[in-house]
């Protein structure tokens, strides 16, 4: 659990040596993921499915390791209030999408309903599970052993955001790496949920809800995907 001091907003002090080490670790881990994703993409298509395969394998390793350490609590249900953020995201998404569709009403407001048979359900279900196990139960929890909780959350979120840009070594050397705002904010929220609830299940559901908003916007008012594009660029 986060301390009252950390929740209050003031970041605990981090030494220069610790900070440099965490930055180097963040970049190094991101590159390892980028290379793993790129290698898997030569065998599996599309690229997001290749990344899912890598994360599923890592997730199994992380879950086994955490359970052997006795961290069963991380995978157990918690009070209903911790699942409220996921429900809130979906409800707000539906509300704003339907409101914009019928209030703004330009000719391009109405989006054709996608064929649910083409929706990548693995992206809505397995991606959140695999990524939360790897990044929250694995990387996030490990960083908490090396740095104050608030800093651990920030660097874990940075790794998560960098990884979504597929930062291979070649891309990093060429300076072709970004830190997408959307994944970074999602990771921070998930880190907070894990720290406060003691379980990764609320984070998994929030992650799934955020992924599901893409389908909602595609179905109800596709313009939101353009309006929110800044979160992923």
Please tell me the pTM assigned to this model. 0.89
Tens digits of residue pLDDT in 121-138 = 888 999 999 999 999 999
CB atoms within 10 A of CB 31: 20
Position 115 pLDDT exceeds 80 = no
Position 233 pLDDT exceeds 80 = no
29-34 LR contacts (CB < 8 Å, sep 24+)? 29/139, 29/159, 29/163, 30/159, 30/162, 30/163, 30/167, 30/172, 30/177, 31/167, 31/168, 31/169, 31/172, 33/159, 33/163, 33/167, 34/163, 34/165, 34/166, 34/167, 34/168, 34/169, 34/171, 34/172
Position 11 pLDDT exceeds 50 = yes
Tens digits of residue pLDDT in 164-221 = 988 999 998 888 888 889 999 999 999 999 999 999 999 999 999 999 999 999 888 8
Weakest-pLDDT range from 12-26, 113-127, 216-230 = 113-127
Q: Which two tokens stand for residue 112?
A: 């054709």
| Three-class secondary structure assignment of the chain | CCCHHHHCCCCCCCCHHHHHHHHHHHHHHHHHHHHHHHHHHCCCCCHHHHHHHHHHHHHHHHHHHHHHCCCHHHHCCCCHHHHHHHHHHHHHHHHHHHHHHHHCCCCCCCCCCCCHHHCCHHHHHHHHHHHHHHHHHHHHHHHHCCCCHHHHHHHHHHHHHHHCCCCCHHHHHCCCCCCCHHHHHHHHHHHHHHHHHCCCHHHHHHHHHHHHHHHHHHHHCCHHHHHCHHHHC
Q: Which percentage of the chain shows pLDDT scores above 70?
A: 89
Q: How confident is the model at residue 149 (pLDDT cuts 50, 70, 90)?
A: confident
* Chain mean pLDDT for the chain: 88
Q: Which percentage of the chain shows pLDDT scores above 90?
A: 62
Half-sphere exposure in the Cβ direction for 168 (13 Å, CA) = 9
Position 7 pLDDT exceeds 50 = no
Position 44 pLDDT exceeds 70 = yes
In 3D, which of 69, 216, 232, 44 has the Cα closest to residue 142? Answer: 69
Q: Which two tokens stand for residue 26?
A: 């963040």
Q: How confident is the model at residue 117 (pLDDT cuts 50, 70, 90)?
A: low
In 3D, which of 166, 172, 156 has the Cα closest to residue 232? Answer: 166
Vertex 122 angle, CA 81 and 155, to 5° = 60
In 3D, which of 165, 169, 203 has the Cα closest to residue 86? Answer: 203
Position 95 pLDDT exceeds 60 = yes
Q: How confident is the model at residue 19 (pLDDT cuts 50, 70, 90)?
A: confident
Q: What is the pLDDT of residue 1?
A: 42
């Amino acid at each position: 659990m986060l301390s009252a001091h950390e929740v209050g907003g003031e970041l605990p002090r981090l030494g220069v040596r610790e900070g440099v080490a965490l930055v180097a670790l963040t970049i190094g881990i991101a590159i390892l993921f980028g290379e793993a994703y790129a290698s898997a993409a030569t065998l599996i298509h599309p690229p997001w499915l290749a990344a899912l395969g890598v994360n599923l394998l890592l997730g199994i390793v992380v879950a086994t390791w955490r359970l052997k350490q006795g961290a069963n609590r991380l995978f157990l249900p918690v009070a209903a209030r911790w699942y409220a953020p996921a429900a809130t995201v979906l409800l707000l998404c539906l509300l704003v999408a339907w409101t914009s569709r019928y209030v703004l009403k330009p000719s391009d407001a109405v989006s054709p309903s996608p064929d649910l048979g083409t929706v990548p359900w693995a992206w809505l279900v397995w991606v959140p599970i695999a990524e939360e196990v790897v990044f929250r139960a694995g990387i996030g929890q490990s960083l908490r052993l090396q740095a104050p909780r608030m800093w651990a959350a920030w660097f874990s979120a940075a790794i998560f955001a960098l990884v979504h840009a597929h930062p291979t070594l070649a891309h990093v050397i060429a300076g072709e790496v970004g830190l997408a705002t959307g994944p970074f904010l999602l990771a921070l929220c998930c880190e907070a949920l894990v720290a406060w609830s003691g379980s990764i299940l609320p984070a998994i559901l929030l992650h799934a809800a955020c992924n599901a908003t893409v389908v909602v916007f595609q179905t109800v008012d596709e313009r939101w995907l353009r309006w929110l594009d800044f979160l992923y660029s």
